Copies of this chain bind each other. A is one copy, B any other.
Amino acid sequence: MASTTPEPARLPDAGPDPDTNLGWSLAVVLRRWHERVEAALADLPHGSRGYHVLAAVSRGEPPTQAALAERLLIDRSVMTYLLDDLEAVGLVRRRIDPHDRRVRRVCATGHGREVLAGVRERVEHVEEQVLAGLDAPSRELFRGLAQRAAVAVQEASPATDPCAAVRQVVGDGAEDPGGTGSRGGRRRTGRGTRN
């Protein structure tokens, strides 16, 4: 840990700005992001989470609920009624994978993609406000760096799920209009559109 880095400019304590607290900075930015996005997305069933799910589902192959939960750092049990509510409003759809009838592939409906477009605009507007302290190129730079760091650290999560190999299934014309079955009846008590 002697850190023989050729960076003598960084002294451990003598820095005039020892407040380079990564945790604090990230917490502040994320907190404000969350606040404002929640406010801007009050109509979406679960606010920012609904947005994340919708965005994750709207590109590429329909992921399974487990894959979604892992990617979005949401517990499986939470994902269940999150999707329940999104499905109830017709934004996403659960379809049983014909190749493995245990898993449910979540895909966005046309309406969902439509809604996502507008929502994304609002979110981007919020993000510009949140990153107002940076000029435009710095904003882009910051986004890129954050993304790179996130992807890398997400892949390097050893304890959780070792192999999240995405099955290359689906894409065929197998129909399953029978729906998900949706065995259970109602959700927990006040699990409405939140709030």
Contact = CB atoms under 8 A, between A and B. Distances in A.
Contacts of A181: none
Nearest to A5: B136
Contacts of A31: 73
A145 B148 contact: no
Of the candidates A19, A22, A131, the one having the most CB atoms from chain B within 10 angstroms of its own CB is: A22
A30 B20 contact: no
- Chain copies in complex: 2
B60 A48 contact: no
A176 interface: no
- Chain A contact surface mostly: helix
Contact of A142 (B24, B28, B130, B145): B145
Given A22-B127, A23-B52, 19 more contacts: A17-B147, A19-B55, A19-B147, A21-B52, A21-B147, A22-B146, A23-B123, A24-B72, A25-B143, A26-B33, A27-B30, A28-B73, A29-B146, A29-B150, A32-B154, A133-B153, A142-B142, A142-B146, A145-B145
Interface of A: 1-3, 5, 7, 12-15, 17-34, 37, 48, 51-52, 55, 58-60, 62, 72-73, 107-108, 117, 120-121, 123-125, 127, 130-134, 136, 138, 141-154, 156-157, 171
